[in-house]
Structures are given as C-alpha cells and as structure tokens.
C-alpha cells in the first residue's frame, strides 16, 4: 500500500491522473477532482429551503488520489478476475452466473467448473507476472520526458501461485 501511495504522490507532483490497464484489458483512470460547494437558497411560498450543490473542479485532489490508489488497484484486479472467469467459464459451457463484488455463483451443477475456472484464471493473471511493474510503467508514461524517482517495488513473497489450483477453498 505504501508503494502504491508513493506512486500516486509522484503522479500528483505532475498533476497527472493515474492510469493503468487491468489484466482483462479494461483501462482504468483514477482522477479524483476537488469539489466546490455552493449553497442555494430557495423560497417556496412561505418556506425557505437550502440546497448544497457540489461541482467538480479541474484541480486534482491529491489526497484522494493517494488514499484511493491501493483499494482501487486491488478492486480493479478483482474485477479483472471476475470478467476473465466469466469469459472462460462460458467457453466451458457455463452460462448462468450470479456475481456480487468478489463472490461468485452459478447453478449447483456448474459450481465445480466455475470453481476450477476461477483458480485457472487467477494463476494466468498472476503467475510469472509483475503487475506492479506494469502499473509503474503506466505512471511513467503519463509524464513523458520526466525521470520519476520511483521507489523500489516491494519484493515478491513466497507464494506459489499455482498452488491455488489445489486449494479446497478460494473466493466465495
């Protein structure tokens, strides 16, 4: 999370939104803008009502950019896993789905196929890949001609991604 926030702060220094592509091919643009509030006073008959109106400005909200990058990045990967799982499951004949965020469901008869497919997609998404390197390159390309002093990416842990293929439980 710290590394992601540091990356967002570097983009902030150049007032650039953060963009990346998910493994499913979806482009993501994180561009939180500051808001300006206005108070409208409305007279309706004998009554006076107040309404607060918020409008977006063109100024990047640097605090929200830094705070939002970690959850937004992780959620984009969850979304990519969901989209790729549905596409691959359809190739295996599964056609009914019930999805909420990162909970996956289908008819009972298709559950084993969906469970296996989700694990396969996870391995395809993460095994042998450095998605943080891809994110870093995306941020670097958003400020061409500028050398960014990006801190070292966090090291990989000991997880053997392919072991999820044998796990009894994986997602819901």
Catalytic residue flag (residue 6): no
Given 6, 61, 78, 102, which residue is catalytic?
102
**DSSP string for 11-62:** HHHTT--EEEE-TTS-EEEE--EEEEEEEEEEEETTEEEEEEEEEEEEEE-H
The two three-digit tokens of residue 31, written as one number: 């561009």
Q: Which residues contact 106 (CB under 8 A, 6 or more apart)?
A: 89, 94, 96, 97, 98, 113, 114
Four-residue CA torsion sign, 76, 77, 79, 84: positive
**C-alpha to C-alpha distance for 72 and 150, rounded to whole angstroms:** 20
User: What residues are labeled active site?
Assistant: 102
């Amino acid at each position: 999370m710290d590394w992601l926030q540091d990356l967002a702060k570097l983009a902030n220094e150049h007032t650039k939104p953060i963009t990346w592509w998910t493994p499913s091919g979806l482009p993501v643009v994180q561009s939180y803008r500051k808001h300006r509030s206005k108070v409208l006073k409305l007279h309706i008959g004998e009554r006076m009502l107040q309404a607060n109106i918020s409008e977006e400005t063109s100024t990047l909200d640097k605090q929200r950019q830094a705070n939002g990058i970690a959850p937004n990045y992780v959620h984009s990967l969850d979304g990519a896993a969901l989209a790729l799982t549905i596409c691959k499951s359809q190739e295996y004949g599964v056609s009914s789905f019930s999805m909420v965020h990162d909970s996956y469901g289908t008819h009972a008869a298709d559950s084993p196929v969906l469970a296996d497919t989700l694990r396969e997609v996870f391995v395809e998404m993460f095994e042998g890949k450095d998605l943080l390197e891809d994110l870093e390159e995306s941020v670097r390309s958003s400020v061409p001609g500028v050398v960014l002093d990006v801190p070292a990416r966090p090291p990989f842990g000991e997880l053997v991604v392919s072991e999820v293929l044998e796990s009894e439980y994986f997602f819901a």
